[in-house]
Amino acid sequence: MTDQNTSVGSTLTVQRVRSGLARRYRLERWFRRFGMMAVALGLSFVLVLFASIGSNGISAFHQGYVRLDITLDEKTLDPAGSRDPEVIGKASYRTLVRDTLFDQFPEVTSRSDKRELTGLLSNGADFMVRDQVMENPGLVGTTHSFWVPVDDEIDMLMKGYIDRNVPEADRRVSDRMIGWVDQLEKGGYLESRFNTLFFTNGDSRDAELAGVRGALAGSMLTLVVTLLLSFPIGVATAVYLEEMAPKNRITDFIEVNINNLAAVPSIVFGLLGLAVFINFFGMPRSAPLVGGLVLTLMTLPTIIIASRAALKAVPPSIRQAALAVGASPLQTITHHVLPLALPGMLTGTIIGMAQALGETAPLLMIGMIAFIVDVPQTVTDPSTVLPVQIFLWADAPERAFVEKTSAAIMVLLGFLALMNIVAVLLRKRFETRW
Amino acid sequence: MIVRVIATTLLAGAMLAQPASAQSTRDYISVVGSSTVYPFATVVAENFGKTTNFKTPKIESTGSGGGLKLFCSGVGVQTPDITNSSRRIKASEVADCASNGVNEIVEVVIGYDGIVVANSKDAGAMSLTLKDLFLALAKNVPNPSGAKNLVPNPYSTWKDINPALPATRIEVLGPPPTSGTRDAFVELAMEGGCDAFGFIAAMKSADNNGYKTACHTVREDGAFVEAGENDNLIVQKLEANPKALGIFGFSFLDQNSDRIRGSAIDGVEPNFDSISDGSYPVSRPLYFYVKKAHVGAVPGIKEYLDEFTREDTWGEFGYLADRGLIPLPDGEREAARERILSLAPLELTKE
């Protein structure tokens, strides 16, 4: 009787399961599809972003150059023949450069036409010629071919960003200038070259001379300060809280506060930096030192939390074994626990650093949103950082800065990718599995 | 080992941090202030750095108000030497300066900036009056029936405002309230349009706050779109949407003249001449202020002023004009240069 009952019951269950089976499979398939769609959507956003940045920015890595065969007459450059760099540096290269260009277009005679013609060249052309001559004084007295960058608007024309078909009045480049450019191009005087200036120059308001070196150096100095301060402090805090501190209300309170700090908007740290470091301690504005200090405050919670997680992951047996063979608590930590937790801590630190690299808001308050031409050398020199440079270029009216902006984003993304790769490699190299 | 590593890094950090406290002099000029003046000041600074033996000045873009606050915070290398401003210094700011020991300030008017209302070249040219702009953009407008009261803005197309205008939807992209361009637009264009209505203009003396609220409040029903501080973005959006109008500084129109067209306002097209002679109604002077106490203490300030006020720089064919700055009228530049180089301090006359 009971047997029959169970068998009837089990067939009922089987039937119920069977009837619902198709539905359950369908649900699972849908769930899987939703997951895949979410991933695809995310990927497509990333792809669109990268494609638009890439297509906008790639042209910034090339720059139009014009060849000038300049006769470096000894009489004008170095009348005494001393080859003294001081004398050579003082000569008027502007006149030299312009006269060379005028010789190439003898039909251009009037003052205003000559003005227009010199508009083909970058404002930095004469300085570049001067630097080359000063580097190599042997050039004086010879005729040498110099390649100097063209003006940003001519560069835009060469890259096809300026439509030649719109009426002349509506263009920034006149018909005559286009004629000159075509003439130069035919004669082989015009060339598109890799834009080394983009990596060797600081900021400039002439788009063809603007580079990311200053911002890159600023970012690196800031990150060095951040790393040197936040890593030791973060690790020490994590070790103390995890390994040594007694469990009581005070440490609980500290823990809650650290977790809260991780969620504080970064601009608040900027305000704090302004009030404490600049106004109270009198540190200089716009300096990577202050930037680094502010970013240290911002990344500390991230590093502490990651470091504590890494310490927690070290099995207690390691500590017990060390203590059992007579190691002191400090020896246990420095000889055994810390080396094992270090890869995790490093990963956390690098992620914190990557976060700091992309930060602009707190730097706004401490004056790092600034136009700085000179590449910073020390942590107290005024400087800016990569994301700020992107922000400033995005706001520049000249059209050539559009591609510069995207190119700077590419440099920043490259930098970030590099840091993440280092994080992954470090983890792979030192990671221990139990 | 690890202890040693940590100790060394801490030591290195301490050593790196050392020069900070030793900063008692500064060998570069520190400039702060308006983001509108920033594109012009930076060009001058760069040229100054290239052509002289002085370091290139550092120019921060803090906004006019923020710049003046920093500028007035005291005398000494920690404070900026120069602040750029897209409006004149206020009496309250002069008082604030004085209370912090900043007594002698040299005022420099560098030229003019026009604010343009522009649209894509793909759309037809617009010719607007200040009154049209006010009616299109104010939150509350005079009752269309003619009664002397304010009603929520009922207009949805340009034709509703002025039969001469096209029947397209009112859609204007402009800067947010934090922007100096917005301030100037509201003060010059909206207020100008406001004054066309006698009963609102009469409020000016009787109920100044009410007058300001009526004239300065921009509608929030979607016809005016706050497009962010980035003027390039507005230009791009105008290209994508030929029906929309955008509000931004003249230099952006000048740089993008192949894509966008400035609307005539009160019958005057925005261009160099009309802004320079003052016939274009929505234009404002741009300034910078120099702390006289710093001249001589920080190297290069006098030379920077000299570079800024050269004819090659701020003149009619100077390089600032290439960037879209509208120069001072021909007769005024020389006198201004003399006054500036003699460092005559500012004296605010009560209006």
Single out the residue of B238, B289, B267, B243 nearest to residue B89, CA to CA: B289
The residue ranges of DSSP E strands in chain B, in sequence order, are 30-33, 58-60, 82-85, 105-120, 127-128, 140-142, 150-152, 172-174, 224-226, 245-249, 260-262, 264-265, 283-291
pLDDT given for residue B203 in this prediction = 82
Looking at 3.30.930.10, 3.40.50.300, 1.10.3720.10, 3.20.20.70, the CATH number of the domain A213-430 comes to 1.10.3720.10
Residues of chain B with pLDDT > 90, as a percent, come to 30
Which residue among A169, A367, A402 places its CB closest to the CB of B60?
A367
pLDDT at B351: 43
Distance CA A43, CA B198 (A): 59
Query: Among A396-410, B195-209, B245-259, which is the least confidently predicted range?
Result: B195-209
pLDDT at A1: 47
What angle is formed at CA B225 by the lines to CA B223 and CA B226, rounded to 5 degrees? 150
| All residues at 6 or more sequence positions from B251 whose CB lies less than 8 Å from its CB, including other chains | A397, B39, B113, B323, B324, B325
Cβ within 8 Å of A, B 132-161:
none
Q: Judge whether B273 is closer than 8 Å to chain A, CB to CB.
A: no
Three-state secondary structure string covering A382-396: CCCCHHHHHHHHHCC
| Domain B25-113+284-341 matches domain B114-283 at the CATH topology level | yes
Nearest to A158 by CA among A178, A141, A174, A188: A178
Compute the average pLDDT of residues B182-211.
84
Q: How does pLDDT run across A87-127, given as a tens digit for each residue?
A: 777 777 888 888 888 888 888 888 778 888 888 898 888 88
Give the closest-approach CA distance of B273 to chain A in angstroms: 16
Find the CB nearest A374 among B16, B56, B78. Answer: B56
pLDDT at B21: 40
Q: Does the distance separating the beta carbons of A232 and B6 come in below 8 Å?
A: yes
Window from A200-214, B32-46, B205-219 with minimum mean pLDDT: B205-219
> Are B260 and B239 spatial neighbours (Cβ–Cβ below 8 Å)?
yes
Cβ–Cβ contact B256 with A under 8 A: yes
DSSP A118-178: HTTB-TTHHHHHHHHHHH-GGGTTSEEEEEEEBPHHHHHHHTT-S-TTS-GGGSSS-HHHH
Contacts of B45 (CB under 8 A, 6+ apart): A371, A373, B29, B31, B56, B57, B59, B304
Predicted pLDDT at B304: 94
Residue A192 per-residue DSSP state: E
Contact A370 B61 (CB under 8 A): yes
> CA-nearest residue of chain B to A378?
B16
Instruction: CATH number for B25-113+284-341: choose from 3.40.190.10, 3.30.70.20, 3.90.1300.10, 3.30.465.10.
Output: 3.40.190.10
Q: Residues 65..104 of B with a Cβ closer than 8 Å to A: which?
A: 78
Q: Which of A163, A379, A395 sits opposite B258 (nearest CB)?
A: A163
Asked whether the CA dihedral B9, B14, B18, B20 is positive or negative, the reply is positive
CA distances from A391 to A362, B230, B232 (A): 14, 9, 12
Amino acid at position A288, single letter? P
**HEC readout, B275-289:** HHCCCCCCEEEEEEE
What is the domain partition of chain B in residue ranges? 25-113+284-341, 114-283
Q: Mean pLDDT, chain A, as a whole number?
A: 89
Strand order in the sheet with A143-149: A143-149, A62-71, A190-194
pLDDT higher than 70, residue A405: yes
In this prediction, residues A78-94 reach a mean pLDDT of 78
Q: What is the mean pLDDT of residues B60-72?
A: 89
The 10s digit of each residue's pLDDT in A267-278 is 999 999 999 998
Going by pLDDT thresholds of 50, 70 and 90, the confidence category of residue A424 is confident
Report the percent of chain B where pLDDT is more than 70.
92
**Both structure tokens of B247:** 């509000």
Contact A172 B258 (CB under 8 A): yes
Mean of pLDDT values over A5-14:
72
- Name the residue in chain B with its Cα closest to that of A232: B6
Please check the confidence at residue B22 and state whether its pLDDT lies above 50: no
For an interface test with A, give the residue of B11, B58, B84, B259 to mutate (most A CBs within 10 A).
Answer: B58
Q: What is the mean pLDDT of residues A208-216?
A: 94
Fold assignment, B114-283: D-Maltodextrin-Binding Protein; domain 2 (3.40.190)
Long-range contacts, stretch A331-338, CB < 8 angstroms, 24+ apart: A333/A239, A333/A243, A334/B1, A334/B2, A334/B3, A337/A239, A337/A243, A337/A311, A338/A235, A338/A239, A338/B2
pLDDT band at A7 (very low <50, low <70, confident <90, very high): low
Q: Residue A147: beta bridge partners?
A: A67
Q: Is the predicted pLDDT of residue B12 greater than 70, yes or no? A: no
* pLDDT at position B217 over 60: yes
pLDDT band at A218, cuts 50/70/90? very high
Structural Rg of chain A based on CA atoms: 32
Q: Which of A127, A281, A370 sits opposite B59 (nearest CB)?
A: A370
A285 CA to chain B: closest CA distance, Å? 8
Q: Span A226-248, mean pLDDT?
A: 93
Q: Quote the pLDDT of residue A9.
A: 64
Reported as a single tens digit per residue, the pLDDT across B187-196 is 889 888 888 8
pLDDT band at B18 (very low <50, low <70, confident <90, very high): very low
Strands (E), A286-425: 370-371
CA–CA distance, A219 with A209 (Å, rounded to integer): 20
Angle CA(A433)–CA(B2)–CA(B4) in degrees, nearest 5?
170
Residues B312-323 have a mean pLDDT of 85
